Amino acid sequence: MHGHTYRAEVTLSGKVRDDGMVADFYELEAAMTPVLAQLDHATLNEVMENPTAENIAGWIAERLALPQLASVRVYENPDCWAEWERER
């Protein structure tokens, strides 16, 4: 077993609201906090069957309740990442 320090990047897309934003960062943080709490310092094989960067990105996307969600990118390091994109 070995560890990683993953980084997740979430992209939102949609119509800009009257307040000038697609979503408020508070909304994004509120959605992300419980999802990331399940992964932080966890044994990922106990959270999901096959914790590849691709599967982690999809797992995060499935749990985010954000209609504006366009993509989730999970980085294993600055040069190695996998991305989930919403089907159009």
Please name every residue paired with 69 in a beta bridge, in sequence order, or none if there are none: 12
How far is residue 31's CA from residue 49's CA, in Å, rounded to a whole number?
Answer: 23
The domain defined by 7-85 folds into Tetrahydropterin Synthase; Chain A (3.30.479)
Number of H helices, E strands in the chain: 3, 3
Query: Per-residue pLDDT tens for 43-55?
Result: 999 999 999 999 9
How far is residue 59's CA from residue 72's CA, in Å, rounded to a whole number?
Answer: 10
Query: Per-residue pLDDT tens for 15-72?
Result: 999 999 998 889 899 999 999 999 999 999 999 999 999 999 999 999 998 999 999 9
How far is residue 40's CA from residue 38's CA, in Å, rounded to a whole number?
Answer: 6
What ranges do the domains of the chain cover? 7-85
**Given strand 7-12, what is the order of strands in its sheet?**
7-12, 69-77, 80-85
